[in-house]
Amino acid sequence: MDGRWTRRGFLLASAAAVAGCGARQQATPQAAPTPLPSSQPPVDSTSVSNLIWRSSIGDVKMIVMRPREVAGPLPVCLALHGEGTDANQFVEIGLPPLLTATVRAGTRPFAVVAVDGGTAGWLGAPQKMLAEELPDWLSRAELAATPFSVLGISSGAVGAFEYARTPGLALLTALSPAVFTSWRDAERFGGYTDEKQWERSEPLRNLTAVAGLPFAVWCGTDDPLLPAARELAQRTKANPATFGDGDHSTLYWKKVLPEVLRFIGDSLGKKTP
């Protein structure tokens, strides 16, 4: 799947979060993560780990991406994928080597953790899973239990806004956010059970929930969601708010990802000598 815009492509996505590697073996088999066979080409076994956790929403895949040659606990950026894909989306757009390059260029090291949230989207049960179960999984993977940042692609950006109410979060970043200025538009592309759910969850209608939280947005100028993304950026005073050539596709996300990771890394500050 190339990630291009489709009507179906704006059904609210499952969650994907990405960070570090090497989860410890658990004493209780039911609680232990198990390696997940991947059909993706090997990236670098020292920087990417695929784990499965049993959770309240079923088996959940968690992909932990760390910069190479960096040991020990790391702060975490949670990454939420778009509809029609899963946590592998962040591997497919080339995040692991770019994360290493970002840290080598001088930012403080951090991990990116992508998590699947099931097929029902990022509202409801998946958000509860992120709030109540993810912290323990991160701790067992020897990472910070509370992410400092959340990154969402497309409908994953809507999930990121929901998650942004989490205490301790310091940064919210959206790529091609699947936001809508009217119920008519939201209903046409799907993703919500009814208008009431959309009113409760649509970022453009719930900005006070993330008031004061630093926010950044990237969106292509050929993306059908550009007008709503521009409004979101204006009303949140997003900085940066970047609108360049590209559409709602994997090609665009690959192009802007180096800049996005630099921004996230710079929010932590520079490495000390």
Query: Are 87 and 98 spatial neighbours (Cβ–Cβ below 8 Å)?
Result: no
Whole-number pLDDT of residue 49: 81
**pTM beyond 0.75, yes or no:** yes
Both tokens of residue 22? 């090497």
User: In which residue are the tokens 């497919």 written?
Assistant: 92
Whole-number pLDDT of residue 36: 44
Whole-number pLDDT of residue 23: 38
Query: Are 129 and 162 spatial neighbours (Cβ–Cβ below 8 Å)?
Result: no
Q: CA nearest 176: which of 155, 202, 192, 150?
A: 155
pLDDT in tens, the chain (273 residues): 344 444 333 333 333 333 333 333 333 333 444 444 444 444 454 578 877 877 766 778 899 999 998 888 999 999 999 888 889 999 999 999 999 999 999 999 999 999 987 566 688 888 888 999 999 999 999 999 999 999 999 989 999 999 998 888 999 999 999 999 999 999 887 778 889 989 999 999 999 888 889 999 999 999 999 999 999 999 999 999 999 999 999 999 999 999 999 999 999 998 876
Which helix H or strand E contains 58, and what residues bound it? Answer: strand 58-65
- Alpha-carbon span 193 to 70, nearest angstrom: 44
User: What burial letters (b/e) apply to 144-173, b meaning 16+ CB within 10 Å?
Assistant: bebbbbbbbbbbbbbbbbbbbebeebebbb
Residue 77 CB partners (closer than 8 Å, separation 6+): 18, 19, 110, 111, 112, 113, 147, 148, 149, 150, 151, 171, 264
φ, ψ of residue 182 in degrees (nearest 5): -150, 155
Whole-number pLDDT of residue 208: 87
Q: Where are the beta strands (DSSP E) in 133-240?
A: 149-153, 171-175, 215-220
Whole-number pLDDT of residue 28: 32
Q: CA nearest 148: which of 12, 264, 54?
A: 264
- Alpha-carbon span 130 to 85, nearest angstrom: 18
Domain ranges across the chain:
48-267
Q: How many residues does the chain have?
A: 273
Q: Is the preceding omega at residue 147 within 30 degrees of 0, hence cis?
A: no
The CATH class for the domain spanning 48-267 reads: alpha beta
Whole-number pLDDT of residue 26: 35
- Alpha-carbon span 15 to 82, nearest angstrom: 8
Both tokens of residue 20? 């570090």
Q: What distance, in Å, lies between the first and last C-alpha atoms of the chain?
A: 43
Percent of the chain at pLDDT > 70 equals: 81
- Alpha-carbon span 106 to 228, nearest angstrom: 34
Distance of CA 21 to the CA centre of its chain: 17
Residue 53 CB partners (closer than 8 Å, separation 6+): 33, 59, 60, 62, 133, 137
